[in-house]
Amino acid sequence: MKPFETSLLGRMELNNRIGIPAMCTYMAKGDGIANLHHIAHYETLAKGRPAFIVQEATAIAAEGYISDACLGIFTPRQREPLKDIVEVVHDYGVKLGIQLNHAGMKSKCAAHKVSAMDNADVHALTAEEIHRIVVNFEFAGKWAKELGYDFVEIHAAHGYLINQFLSPLTNQRTDLYGEDRTLLLKEIITGVRSTFEKDVIVRISAEEYEEDGLHIADMKDIVEAIESCGAAAISVSSGGLNKHPIQTYPMYQIPYARAIKQMTSLPVMGVGLITKEEEIETILAQEDCDYVLLGRKLLRDPYFLLSWQDAFGLLTEENIGECLYRGIHKHGE
């Protein structure tokens, strides 16, 4: 595989193999409503022509925000400006997904924190309350479709609610949701697919960095659950419920992506401190994963892919417009 080749991901035709993972901008003002900062931010990222962007973790219900500066999709006023984000990203020929999330006990602002288990100020969800959350996700899928997103990413990583149900660290329930820790994830994927009707991607933490937590060898059941519900791809991250900070280094999560790719025929996305052209080329040439996600690299250098393409002689004024072309193209100076 090569960085600038086209490909088909689910039903989406993609222009290259590089995407931008979900990254919270923390720019909402306590109401979950996107504003001009969000529109400008996503326009800048889209101008750099990744194949796709995953919009930041967006809450499907009020108690699901990570922080009070996060976006929501569950009120009409929240949905109104999301249309503008979709439109501006599509203007650049870039696909846009929305990451749907419920933070569970990791919410910093919920009036009532919920999770799989009771714990201090955290309430263990009843089966009826779980059902209501699945319905919240289904509605979010319906709205994402109406808003024109190309795909939905379900956030089942980083220690948020779905991850709390998947992990033995936080789920020792004795009901159906404890007997099968993938049950909530399966219900959510199935529910969102039924309303969104397009490609649904799932983001997982493939390593929890805790002895009693999930490790890559435990991922088989989770991968099978994701496949069985008809998801289009798996995005492989790690951590979220670890007590101590993890050691990071270039491409530190790619071994997990490679291991997941060996478990599934679904396309796999890899991420984690990838910043250099050679790293991207090697990951793809070795087929460690099908898509490479660049987060912080493209936050600080949004036109990195354009400069790289220019070095290959692949950049044209027709593709990116005169202004950006004159800024990026090097005439040998």
Ligand X SMILES: Cc1cc2nc3c(=O)[nH]c(=O)nc-3n(C[C@H](O)[C@H](O)[C@H](O)COP(=O)(O)O)c2cc1C
- Where does this chain bind ligand X (CB under 6 A)? 21-24, 56-57, 99, 155, 157-158, 203, 237, 271-274, 294-297
- What is the separation, in whole angstroms, between the first and last Cα of the chain? 32
Q: What are phi and psi of 220, to 5 degrees?
A: -55, -45
Single-letter amino acid code for the residue at 69: A
Those residues whose C-beta lies under 8 Å from the C-beta of residue 222, and which sit 6 or more positions away, are 166, 182, 185, 204, 214
- For ligand X, the closer CB: 115 or 235: 235
Least Å distance, CB 302 to ligand X, is 13
Cα distance between residue 26 and residue 56, in whole Å: 9
Full DSSP string of 191-251: HHHHHH-SEEEEEEES---STTS--GGGHHHHHHHHHHTT-SEEEEE--SS-SSPPP--TT
Least Å distance, CB 102 to ligand X, is 12
208, 296, 297 from 256: Cα distances, Å: 11, 20, 20
- For ligand X, the closer CB: 99 or 136: 99
Least Å distance, CB 155 to ligand X, is 5
Cα distance between residue 12 and residue 15, in whole Å: 10
- For ligand X, the closer CB: 194 or 242: 242
- For ligand X, the closer CB: 100 or 169: 100
Q: Which residue is nearest to ligand X (CB)?
A: 295
- For ligand X, the closer CB: 232 or 316: 232
- For ligand X, the closer CB: 71 or 315: 71
Q: Are 16 and 51 in contact (CB under 8 A)?
A: yes
Least Å distance, CB 123 to ligand X, is 24
User: Which one-letter DSSP state was computed for residue 331?
Assistant: -
Least Å distance, CB 332 to ligand X, is 31
Least Å distance, CB 4 to ligand X, is 19
